[in-house]
Structure 1
Amino acid sequence: MSKMLAIVALLTMGQAAPNPHLPTKTYDTVAPVLPENLNRAVLIVSKTNGWRHLEHIPHSNVVLADIARGLDRKSYVTENAAVFNDDQLRHFSVVVLNSASGDFMTPDQSAALERFVARGGGIVALHAAGDNSHTGPWYTKTIIGTKFIGHPGGPDQFQPARIVVDQPRHPVMAGVKLPWSPVDEWYSFDANPAAAGMTVLARIDEASYRPGAKLMMGAHPVVWINPTTKGRVVYSALGHSPESYDDPNYHRMLTNAIRWAAQ
């Protein structure tokens, strides 16, 4: 009997093991201590209250900090959303939301980020920063402009697809070499964000991969900006895997986006 109970206990423990992709939601209340001499710096935030992209966050945070260094800007990497306060945000020119998922800010923190953009601060939001785990009205309207509905699954989750650049003269797309068919997890949305006033910079050629009937969009955006805000806002749905951030085209586009949004 004792042996049977031990087996049951082990099975129960195994079933109760937390999923590292779904961490417990937390809200930060104590702001971090920033390094000295941060001025017009790049804030890189990968706070996760939704699906956590364990695959790429550690590597992409390093790559993004390296990009900031190459732009002669200091950076600060954190998962503490309490950094979104007026005093600390004044040290930064641009916030990179690196697959920051879920409603990861308190109402006060969201309001501070809204004020940051209103006075000219830039946002570069990547991959899961645009998924459907975000529900705040300002965030969804200003940063996403549409609603994520899914991506292919099973053996089709990661496929090469051809990127079509609609705005080749825009600074974010400068130097991107075509043809470009990266392997990624391709997000679909319920509507083209152009209908909400966004400007689509690049889209996916749906004939070049298998989205599945329910995820087809026709004009299928993948990178866009919000031209209606004082601060410059960029969203890119690319970037599920760590290898994405070493792709020369994507690395160039991220560098362009941070430079442009920080101006």
Structure 2
Amino acid sequence: MTSLLKSLLATIIICLTAMMPSLAQELPKILVFSKTADFRHDNIEVGAEAIQKLGRENRFDVEHSEDAHLFTKERLAQYQVILFLSTTGNIFSDDQKSAFQDYIQNGGGFVGIHAASDTEHHWPWYERLIGGYFMSHPEVQLADIHVHNHEHPATVHLPKIWKRKDEWYDFEKLNPDVKLLMTLDENSYQGGKMGNFHPISWFHEYDGGRVFYTALGHTKEAFQEEDFLKHILGGIRYALGLEKD
């Protein structure tokens, strides 16, 4: 092998080696955040593992943490989406709230699952972001979900009426600016308190960011259901800006 060829091969190897970290960094990165200050769901670890598996199968990186110290402007900048997995209670300091707000205002994506709506009840900005606050729920039972939007990536795969078992949240302080995806039929189960209009999943653009929320996901079994996992994946893809709404 000539010295020129050796030099050329060495240059190619050096270039490829230098490119490998940057190629890995091109994958979107998601923070699954599950800190709880009130009730803690026993499916959080299972849910985080399921979302990490979705990431491996769909080319995005997933980091799971409950450390609110990640909520600084500099640290949040590494994530394209922040996902609240059944967070509860008041989980942030004022500085951490400011960092999260700045993240959304700079185009960050947000996904909320289940008890994400039972979080930071006294923060008006978060109230509008999440789209509605958890108020109450009856026992876990079967119910009919009416799917109103079959164009969104979180619902495109679902039937018009989706029958499933979950813990059905009632809400207060609903943000009228959110875009509806699904409602509950209160005639199909016992204990609903919202009447004929009972939103259960929605999305919107808010303060610079893209937001998806679903109240589904109370049980461990939910994170083994293909339709539910596709629902979550579609919400993540919307928040990432990979899909049109």
TM-score by length of 2: 0.83
Change (3 A) 1:126 1:41: same
1:2-52 Cα offsets, whole Å, 9 max, x none, are xxxxxxxxxxxxxxxxxxxxxxxxxxxxxxxxxx96563010000111211
Q: CA deviation at 1:253?
A: 0.7
Change (3 A) 1:240 1:42: same
Mapped to 2, the partners of 1:147 and 1:129 lie a distance apart of 9
What secondary structure does 2:107 align onto?
coil
Mapped to 2, the partners of 1:191 and 1:48 lie a distance apart of 22
Mapped to 1, the partners of 2:76 and 2:45 lie a distance apart of 23
Partner of 1:240: 218
What secondary structure does 1:180 align onto?
strand
The 5 Å alignment of 1:84-103 reads 84-103=71-90
Mapped to 2, the partners of 1:228 and 1:112 lie a distance apart of 16
Indicate if the aligned counterparts of 1:117 and 1:229 stay in contact, CA closer than 8 A: yes
Indicate if the aligned counterparts of 2:149 and 2:156 stay in contact, CA closer than 8 A: no
Mapped to 2, the partners of 1:66 and 1:133 lie a distance apart of 28
The correspondence for 1:162, drawn from 137, 144, 151, is 144
* Structure 1 segments (4+ residues) deviating >6 Å: none
Indicate if the aligned counterparts of 1:81 and 1:104 stay in contact, CA closer than 8 A: yes
Larger Rg computed on CA atoms: 2
Residue identity opposite 1:203 in structure 2 = T
The correspondence for 1:183, drawn from 156, 165, 168, is 165
The correspondence for 2:91, drawn from 104, 121, 136, is 104
The correspondence for 2:121, drawn from 134, 139, 144, is 134
Residue identity opposite 1:147 in structure 2 = Y
Show structure 1 runs of 5+ residues with no match: 1-35
Change (3 A) 1:199 1:150: same
Indicate if the aligned counterparts of 1:44 and 1:75 stay in contact, CA closer than 8 A: yes
Q: CA deviation at 1:77?
A: 0.5
Indicate if the aligned counterparts of 2:32 and 2:84 stay in contact, CA closer than 8 A: yes
Partner of 2:232: 254
Change (3 A) 1:80 1:140: same
Indicate if the aligned counterparts of 1:47 and 1:104 stay in contact, CA closer than 8 A: yes
Indicate if the aligned counterparts of 2:142 and 2:163 stay in contact, CA closer than 8 A: yes
Q: CA RMSD in A?
A: 1.8
Mapped to 1, the partners of 2:221 and 2:156 lie a distance apart of 21
Indicate if the aligned counterparts of 1:203 and 1:222 stay in contact, CA closer than 8 A: yes
Show structure 2 runs of 5+ residues with no match: 1-21
Paired-residue identity, %: 31
Matched, 1:174 2:189: no
Partner of 2:200: 222
What secondary structure does 2:154 align onto?
helix
Q: CA deviation at 1:93?
A: 0.5
1:88-111 Cα offsets, whole Å, 9 max, x none, are 111111011000111111111111
Indicate if the aligned counterparts of 1:125 and 1:235 stay in contact, CA closer than 8 A: yes
Indicate if the aligned counterparts of 1:46 and 1:99 stay in contact, CA closer than 8 A: yes
TM-score by length of 1: 0.78
Indicate if the aligned counterparts of 2:181 and 2:203 stay in contact, CA closer than 8 A: yes
Indicate if the aligned counterparts of 1:38 and 1:92 stay in contact, CA closer than 8 A: no
Partner of 1:78: 65
Residue identity opposite 1:78 in structure 2 = S
The range that moved more, 97-106 or 175-184, is 175-184
What secondary structure does 1:171 align onto?
coil
The 5 Å alignment of 1:19-38 reads none
1:116-154 Cα offsets, whole Å, 9 max, x none, are 11111110001111026532221112123x3322001xx
